[in-house]
Amino acid sequence: MKAMVWYGKKDIKINDMPEPSPGPEQVKVKIKVCGICGSDLHEYNHGPVLIPHNFIYMPERKEKYVVLGHEFSAEVVETGSKGTRFKTGDRVTAYAHIFCGNCYYCKKGQHNLCHSLGNIGLSTDGGFAEYSIVNEKSLYHLPDTVNDDMGAFTEPLAVAIRAVKRSGMKIGDTVAVVGAGPIGQLVMMVCLASGADNVFVIEPMKTRRKIAEKNGASFVVDPGKSDPGKVIAELTSGLRADVSIDCVGNQSAFETAVKVTGKRGRICIVGISVKPFKVMFNRLLAQEKEITFSNGYEDEFSTAISMLSNKKVYIENLISARINLKDIVKKGFKPLTEDPEKNIKILVYPFAPPIKHHQEKQ
């Protein structure tokens, strides 16, 4: 089979590999669509970032390489001898966290905090391949109302749902979303669907601001032209946001989140940082602002599938391109890295040439 293999920073190849076979509690799936995630970009440009030093979930692998990709929809082609939940032909998506199921946190249902936490496409081979192996317990059925493209958004949507949940957002809150990349756009739509009164989006890139407006943002701010803190203060009679969600994960974005959040407001960070940054404790302390973090998801996949099925989020505006697996570097990683103004989410098709699916508008 064809697979995109990561060997190191800027070292990616399309290789021929043997098709994998499922173990007793595993399922072999045919990848229909796989989205390029920000974490995939981090590994391409800076890796290893989240790729582990030791492949504890692939002990037979002695060399340092892995097939990236974890935002996918797929079709079941073979089940393991102990498989009970799926049959050949079932349409599925995968919960990307790999967890032991036995540690203190797993027993509490907090799989994203597992002592042995891994991730499909980082700790094991993922979805930038024609076929992949997934633990049966990690698969979710996709209904007919969720097409393959939509199914590839289940994982990032679950990340967004989790971030909103961790932020403590309540019905009627004013929310500021810092960053309008894929996660920021989804966070904004989840907030609106969850009853936020206003959702303000802070984003320096014009194209992303326009997409946020199309997707329902109450107001968008260009931080290159206006001070987001002052703008949001004016829009809220000086109170600023009840909740801010940092979907970027760098010094500037964090400082912006602090500025736009009101007294006793809540700041949730979901963006992944590749560099350390400073925290302004005195300002946070004086105004009793709370900071929390959101890592992946726990049980948000069913909610994500339901929201996609019921058209609570609209993903078509987020898709910048649909490409073949063989073009993933030239038409995927490079455009996302070099021209993020024009590219938000690029979908990769390991088999047939990409076919455009239009989600019915709300």
At 71-83, the pLDDT tens digits run 999 999 999 999 9
Check whether 3 has a pLDDT greater than 60: yes
Establish if 171 belongs to a structural domain.
yes
- Regarding pTM above 0.85, the answer is yes
Does one domain contain both 236 and 173? yes
274 pLDDT band, cuts 50/70/90, is confident
Does one domain contain both 144 and 173? no
Establish if 161 belongs to a structural domain.
no
Establish if 174 belongs to a structural domain.
yes
Does one domain contain both 185 and 266? yes
Does one domain contain both 170 and 245? yes
Does one domain contain both 330 and 280? no
Give the structural domain span for 215.
Answer: 166-293
Residue 282: count of CB within 10 angstroms of its CB? 7
Check whether 247 has a pLDDT greater than 90: yes
Does one domain contain both 144 and 26? yes
The total number of structural domains that make up the chain: 2
